[in-house]
Amino acid sequence: QVQLGESGGGLVQPGGSRRLSCATSRSIARSYGMGWDRQVPGKPREAVASITSAGSANYAASVKGRFTISRDNAKNMAYLEMNSLKPEDTGVYYCKSVASGRVDWGQGTQVTVSS
């Protein structure tokens, strides 16, 4: 099992930027896909971005062109750079790791986009 810890959430104004970080408890270099989901109250959890162990990224249509997912295998870290934030980006953001059919999530970090 992989332990994941997110950081970087907070309050940001519309149009602003925020960088989320995800620390993992074990090496992710070889076989772990990493991703970010978000949860808005009253709505299903949404997959926002994902990145394979080889570095290939995918994004939800709602964030494409504004968010960038990255990973640093040497540091066992994943990141989500969020730009041009909108109020509808508000939610709890969860880091996840995927390997051999198993998915682990962190506890989440709250991002609130509001003026």
> Would you place residue 29 in the very low, low, confident or very high pLDDT band (cuts 50, 70, 90)?
low
Q: In this predicted structure, which of 26-30, 63-67, 70-74, 98-102 has the lowest mean pLDDT?
A: 26-30
Pair 65, 81: CB distance under 8 Å: no
Q: pLDDT digit string (tens) for 32-89? A: 899 999 999 889 999 999 999 889 999 999 999 999 999 998 899 999 999 999 999 9
**Residue linked to tokens 């996840």:** 96
- Please tell me whether residue 89 adopts helix, strand or coil conformation: helix
Helix, strand, coil shares of the chain, percent, nearest 5, are: 5, 50, 45
**Residue linked to tokens 């997912």:** 69
- Per-residue pLDDT at 30: 66
Distance CA 36, CA 26 (A): 18
